[in-house]
Amino acid sequence: MPTVLIAGASRGIGLELARQYAADGWHVIGTRRNARGESALRSAGAEPRRLDVSDASQFEALAASLAGSSLDLFIHSAGIYGPDTSGLAQPDEQAFEEIMRVNVLAAMCSMSSIGPLVARAGGRMVYLSSSMGSIAQMNGTYGWLYRTSKAALNAALKCTAGELGRRGVTCLALHPGWVRTDMGGPNASIDVVTSVTGMRRVIAAARKKDNGRFLDYTGAEIPW
């Protein structure tokens, strides 16, 4: 039975990933940081673990608790949008610190602590990025903190793909589409089932030659 670890699986896209992989017969370890996430994960058929991704030491503890296991797949879904800003509003320092900690530092910590467990299985490391983090497609300042954090995540992923690729891991940055979740809001273009079904297909089709690519949930390439 293949094993997937999903960081940030208490709700939204992460929870639907947990539900679909569990329904497909995978051993699913899903992380959450509060009690509500615990029951949602159990109902989805996943094994809940506690993880606040904003605390770097918790990734090391999680990896230590999994020492001896190998992971076929790791998916980093945890993320925040931060404040809605427009124009060149000076970023609030506390908001900057929080979004960089959750969207970038946490991802980098997972690359170093969880990467070796995935390398053991020659598995896949998947990071939920966003087309808003594509520098090539940036055309405005709205959400500039979020955009900047996802561009930084993409840079970290690209560096890691080189390193972990030599150890047999396939790393992907995935854009899930504009999805109706708490983050995406009710007017988003697709539902969470469509997004996750598509991403699972893209992940399953990924081969070593795809290491370091930036794709959307349909498999279309997104320019960095």
How many residues contact ligand NAP, by CB under 6 A?
A: 29
> Does residue 187 belong to the site contacting ligand NAP (CB under 6 A)?
no
> Does residue 212 belong to the site contacting ligand NAP (CB under 6 A)?
no
What whole-number distance in Å separates Cα of residue 151 and Cα of residue 147?
Answer: 6
> Does residue 10 belong to the site contacting ligand NAP (CB under 6 A)?
yes
224 Cβ neighbours under 8 A, 6+ residues apart: 134, 135, 136, 154, 158, 214
**Dihedral sign of CA atoms 204, 205, 210, 215 in order:** negative
- Indicate the residue among 176 and 212 with the shorter CB distance to ligand NAP: 176
Among 4, 17, 37, 99, binds ligand NAP (CB under 6 A): 37
What whole-number distance in Å separates Cα of residue 64 and Cα of residue 69?
Answer: 10
CB of 11 vs ligand NAP, minimal distance in Å: 5
Among 5, 11, 169, 214, binds ligand NAP (CB under 6 A): 11
> Does residue 48 belong to the site contacting ligand NAP (CB under 6 A)?
no
Among 4, 5, 6, 13, binds ligand NAP (CB under 6 A): 13
Range list of β-strands (E), the chain = 3-7, 27-32, 47-50, 73-76, 124-128, 170-175, 213-216
Q: Pattern of binders to ligand NAP over 111-130, x per CB under 6 A? A: -----------------x-x
Among 27, 33, 50, 158, binds ligand NAP (CB under 6 A): 33
> Does residue 202 belong to the site contacting ligand NAP (CB under 6 A)?
no
> Does residue 182 belong to the site contacting ligand NAP (CB under 6 A)?
yes
Pair type for strands 47-50 and 27-32: parallel
In Å, how far from its chain's centre is CA 55? 16
In sequence order, the β-bridge partners of residue 75 are 6, 126
What whole-number distance in Å separates Cα of residue 105 and Cα of residue 87?
Answer: 26
Q: Are 202 and 219 in contact (CB under 8 A)?
A: yes
CB of 122 vs ligand NAP, minimal distance in Å: 25
In sequence order, the β-bridge partners of residue 214 are 173
Q: Which parts of this chain interact with ligand NAP (CB under 6 A)?
A: 8, 10-14, 33-34, 37, 51-54, 77-80, 102, 128, 130, 175-176, 178-179, 181-184, 188
